[in-house]
Amino acid sequence: MSSGDATSDKPLLRSFGRRRGRKLSPRQDTLMKDVLPRLSLDISAPLPGDPHQLFEANVSEIWLEIGFGGAEHLLWQAQAHPDVGLIGAEPFEDGVVKALDGIATNGLKNVRLHADDVRPLLSWLAPATLTRAFVLFPDPWPKRRHAKRRLVSAALMAELARVVKPGGELRLGTDIASYAGEMLLAVRRDGHFCWTASEPSDWRVRPADWPQTRYEAKARREGRTPSFFRLQRSMVNA
């Protein structure tokens, strides 16, 4: 992935399915029409020289969650870390509405949203913008013919390596064993991130500052064991 991907005539292969689910309630429709435009990042405009200025709150660092789903994790992190600016990227309208509701209800000033494919957003961000990034339980695309649509790939890892600061952290989560293997293979091939695990509990036990999402809860109900990977961006380019 390169900075040209955001403007290329060749369409990106979608890593997500449908964009809309159930019909919006009047309140949800109002949130989408009135609140989302205020919180959305305008990636058609130049990125501010100081990206911390993207946030209404005074923030000291910036984190990104890719595919925040029901927004449980995004909102928890925003409330737990008011000095951190959270960018949430999610193309599915139901998830965006949940995030907007939580932001409005809790009066959060440190969250911005990108209600679309994350890849043009990544291309827009300057190098070493992020201190932390999350890709938690992305769509597994379980059918073999759809596997090429899985988001975590060598291309994504290369772009995350560009925008995550040296020493920064990347967290990956999945409950699909084959996808867990692909994630680690993509990490190894890219070479910019180091898996910090030293014992099985490091990836089998969810850290205390990693709140459970509905996708993890569903996986456990259905008998699948999640993996929680914490990776550190190397201090020098590989």
Extract the tokens encoding 86.
């959270």
Please tell me the distance from the alpha carbon of residue 57 to that of residue 69, in angstroms, as a whole number: 24
Helices (H), the chain: 26-30, 36-39, 72-80, 93-106, 118-124, 154-163, 177-190, 201-204, 214-221
CA-based nearest residue to 166, from 99, 122, 226, 232: 232
CA-based nearest residue to 119, from 77, 157, 78, 167: 157
CB 112 within 8 A of CB 87: yes
Residue of 34, 42, 101, 139 marked catalytic: 139
Extract the tokens encoding 189.
């091939």
116 a catalytic residue: no
Query: CB-side exposure of 228: number of CA atoms within 13 Å?
Result: 16
Pairing of strands 130-136, 193-195: unpaired
Active site residues: 139
